[in-house]
Structures are given as structure tokens and as C-alpha cells.
Structure 1
Amino acid sequence: MIGSSIYLRDRAAFTGGSPQAVYEELWQRGRKGRLRTRAILAGTTLILCGMLVSAIFGIAMAALVASADALVHWRVYKASRVWRLGLRGEDRMSRILRHTLERRGHRVLYERTVPGHGQADQLVFGPGGVWLVHNEAWHPDAEISPHGGRLFIDGRTQSKLVGALTARADAAADLISRVSEVPVKVRPVLAVHGGKLARTPFAADGIVFAPPLRLLRWMSRNPAAAYSPDEVEAITRAAVHALPIGGRITPPAATALSTDAA
């Protein structure tokens, strides 16, 4: 049973009556309806294509329609996985970064604390600038859109979220700039895991929103700076000194040594 996992028992998403648990139950209830609709689509395709072309063509097209319908529903269900597990998506984004930007020479710091402003999920350093990546997963039916330059989710503004993220990026930039002794601008971006985006990517409240892969593509195509490889390395080292790991207040020298050893 969903609520009895010894590994996930303390996660709110697996509590009876939670939005995730209700969504899972409704999805399972709708299985017969989805199969019935798929059978109707495939049967109709088989008859029409069989009459108009040939029986073999009809069978092939019916199989194709059934497969396409199954794929669409699977992708919808898969897209909600992070939210259904009660996660925000930072682990998924970290895996994507390791297999994309890091292999192209970008540097990434994971789970760094910005003192007084919480945790930065990922800090990405590249020739085009520095980005603070935040991750959020919303209900698959949540409407995420910009209006008048502001972010709205299901018709409600998100002042607390965008305010905290902007302040975190500004504070990180200030701390890194002090150590590097050169001005560094940190741009906040938000990786959206689930939900329905009005368009992608889009900017609202000074923050760019997009699903992970599209967000990384946007970052690559919209540089905010022009750093050399040596400058990228120097700024990354400054961030290692300035921002402790995961809430641990570690002396800069110790932090640098642990990073060099890794």
C-alpha cells in the first residue's frame, strides 16, 4: 500500500488524503476508461483504414493509434512523478546537469547555503554567466503563467516564492563578489517539474521558468556575461569559499581543501 512504505512513510505525499494520494487513486480508477477509449480509437481506425485501403493497413494503423494513445497517457503520468513522490525535483535536475552542462565545461555547485536566505539547489558557472537554479514541482493540472510581468499559479501571485528566490540570488552574488573581488551577477532561474506552463520558457518577476532541459537550453542561448575558462574557475572557487555546503558553516580553507580533494 502507498502509505505503508518503510522508506517513504514520513513523506507528506504518501499520507492518506494528500493531493498526491488522491491523484494516484483517481488515476487508477480511470484505467478502465482509458483502455475503453483506446479500444474505440483503435477499432474505429481499423474499420475505416481497412475499408479505404486494406485489412493489413487497417491493422497497422490501429496498432499505431493505440500505441500513440498509450504513449500520451504514459507521458502525462510520468511528468507528474516528481510531484507524486513529494519532491521538488532538485535530484533530477542535478542528474541532468551532470550529463549536460558539466560535460561541456560548466562548473556546478550543489546544495550550497546562502546564509540567511536558505539553500541554493544548484549554482551553475559558465562562460555565459552564473545562474542560481531553483526547483519546484506542482500538481500536473496547475496553471503556471505570467500576467503583467508577474508569476501566477492557478490564478494566484507567488510573491513569497519569487521574492525569496530573488533575494537568495542577490545575496549569493554579493558574497561571491566579496571573495572574488570582482562584481558577479547571479541570475535566478526556476526549473518546473510538472504543471501546465502557458508557454516555455517565460520570464516573470525577473525569473525565467521552464522545464529542466528547456531551461538549460535557454541558459546556453542567453548569456549574461563573457567569462574565460580561467574566470569561470576563479568565480567557482570564490563561491566554494563564500557559500557553505548544505547548512554547514565550514571555514573557507577547509571547504576549499575538501573540494580540491574531491
Structure 2
Amino acid sequence: MPGGSIYVQPNEKYTGSSPQWWYEKFWRDDAPNRLKRRYVKAAVGFIIGVALGLRFGLTGGSAFTGLLAAALVFGGDWLYDIYSFRKTAVWRGAKRGEVIMGRLLRRSLRRHDYHVLDGRAIRGQASIDHLVIGPGGVWIIDNESWSPDTEIACYAGRLFFGEKYGSKTAKPLVEQAEKFAELLSRETGIQVSITPMLAVHCGLLPRNGVVSAEGLTLAKPRTMAKLIKAADRDVLSPAQVEVLARTAARELQRV
């Protein structure tokens, strides 16, 4: 057996599967344990509910307040469990990040005079998931996902994904932004700079949900539109926005 031992048989549990597959398997296998913990939490909630009922003089209704508190704790814990699992959907391949991000951008920005173009590329060169053009400027947005326990942070100006440098992720996006800006500026005569952003669908971001390092801004998908709308709205006039959007739609290839 190449790479193995004739004395120790291979354990199928640790061979031939992706981290995503194992994450989902462990999550499902741990369901009975999570249910037990949920019952314990509900029991604690029941005791607290009874105590609160007695504290406020609801002697006859203390059992009801206990049951109500237990139900709330049980349901809340179940909802949080489902929410935590669904947050990993893009990383697990169950959903497409570019579809989610495109829908969020259009829903939040179009009514504020922003144009959102999905899946665009410079012929034979760079490609991006989303191009946003509006009064506050121009942005390119790509989508990425890491394992749920990967910490994304900035230290001394450097981008990190866990213990790994993030330069290989940041540099290409910064270069793509420069290429897109050069093309739009050349074709329209409007000098623009493009801000590169990365939507993080799974991974640990700081409490404020935003990391800026090495020329790249990373944020949760639902934070992207807020960051764009927070920019100065006087960067581009309505006429310039229209010219840039029409030029981008004409010159950039759909992917």
C-alpha cells in the first residue's frame, strides 16, 4: 500500500474527503448531542421562568412562565443552530456566493441610482463577479468563502487568513481594479479609480465585520451595500454614471 503501513489498516474516516464534507458529517452526527444540550438549556430556562414567576407573585402561574421560558430557550437554541449551519452554505457548495451577493446589491443600491453589472471581464484578461457604478464611485466585488473557524484579520498592514498571508488573494483583485479603471477611463475620458472589495460568505471577521488591508476591503455580504452607500455621493455626476455604466456594459465581456 503506497504511503501506508502493512501493520496499520487505513481508517476511512480520515481519508479521501474534503473539509466541507467532514464538517457536514460531523454536524449531522452531533445532532443527538446538540439535542441533549438543548434539553438541558430548556430545563435551566424552566427553572429560571418558575423563579421569575414566584418573584413577581405569580404563584399560580409560575409553572406557565417556566414552560414559556423553556420553550423560548429551546426554540432560540434550535434557530441559532440552523442559522450557524446555513452560514456555511457557500463554503460547503450548497449555494453560490455571486448569486447571493448580486441579489443583495441590486436590492440595496438600484434605488439609490447605482448600476450593478454581474459577471464581467476584460477580454482575455481579468474577470470579476460584480461591477458597481454610482454617485459614490466605482467598485469591483468578488466572492470568497473560508472555513468557519478561519480568522480574517489585519496585522501591521498585512492581510491574514488564519496563519497564512493574504497577499495572494489581495494582489490579484487590486490589479484587476486597476485594469478595469484603465479601460473605463480610456473609453469614456472620465478618470476613475476603482475600489476592490471581497465579500466574505464564511469565515471569522472582526466585530465590526470589516477588514481593510493591502488595498482590499473585506466584509460580510450584507455589509457591502452599506459601505458603498456610505461613500461620498458627489464623486460622479448622473451623466458620468450613465456613460460609465453604458461603456462597461458594451466593452466588458459577460462571464
Does the pair score TM above 0.5?
Answer: yes
Q: Confirm whether residue 144 of structure 1 aligns to residue 144 of structure 2.
A: no
Looking at structure 2, the residues matched to 182 and 104 of structure 1 have their Cα atoms a distance apart, in angstroms, of 21
Correspondence for 1:236 among 242, 245, 251 = 245
Looking at structure 2, the residues matched to 142 and 191 of structure 1 have their Cα atoms a distance apart, in angstroms, of 15
Looking at structure 2, the residues matched to 104 and 238 of structure 1 have their Cα atoms a distance apart, in angstroms, of 20
More divergent stretch after superposition (96-105 vs 33-42): 96-105
Q: Confirm whether residue 221 of structure 1 aligns to residue 230 of structure 2.
A: yes
Q: What secondary structure is seen at the aligned counterpart in 2 of 1:123?
A: strand
- Return the index of the structure with the highest Cα Rg: 2
Correspondence for 1:133 among 121, 141, 150 = 141
Looking at structure 1, the residues matched to 28 and 191 of structure 2 have their Cα atoms a distance apart, in angstroms, of 53
Unaligned ranges ≥5, structure 1? 1-15, 247-262
Q: What secondary structure is seen at the aligned counterpart in 2 of 1:197?
A: coil
What is the aligned-residue identity percentage?
A: 37
AA aligned to 1:192 is V
Q: Which runs of 4+ in 1 moved over 2 A?
A: 114-118, 222-225
Q: Confirm whether residue 181 of structure 1 aligns to residue 164 of structure 2.
A: no
Residue by residue over 1:51-107, the C-alpha shift from the partner in whole angstroms, topping out at 9 and shown as x without a partner, is: 442111111111111111112111111110111116661111111122221233211
Q: Confirm whether residue 206 of structure 1 aligns to residue 215 of structure 2.
A: yes
Contact 2:135 2:238 in 1 (8 A): yes
Contact 1:124 1:132 in 2 (8 A): yes
Looking at structure 1, the residues matched to 205 and 121 of structure 2 have their Cα atoms a distance apart, in angstroms, of 29
Matching of residues 26-41 of structure 1 within 5 Å: 26-41=26-41
Contact 1:117 1:167 in 2 (8 A): no
Matching of residues 87-98 of structure 1 within 5 Å: 89-98=97-106
Q: What secondary structure is seen at the aligned counterpart in 2 of 1:109?
A: strand
Compared CA separation, residues 111 and 102, structure 1 to 2 (3 A): same
Contact 1:201 1:215 in 2 (8 A): no
| Root mean square deviation, CA, Å | 1.8
Q: What secondary structure is seen at the aligned counterpart in 2 of 1:219?
A: helix
Looking at structure 2, the residues matched to 157 and 174 of structure 1 have their Cα atoms a distance apart, in angstroms, of 28
Looking at structure 1, the residues matched to 124 and 95 of structure 2 have their Cα atoms a distance apart, in angstroms, of 23
Counterpart of 2:84? Answer: 76
Q: Confirm whether residue 122 of structure 1 aligns to residue 130 of structure 2.
A: yes
Q: What secondary structure is seen at the aligned counterpart in 2 of 1:120?
A: strand
Counterpart of 1:171? Answer: 179
Calculate the TM-score normalised by the size of structure 1: 0.83
Counterpart of 1:61? Answer: 69
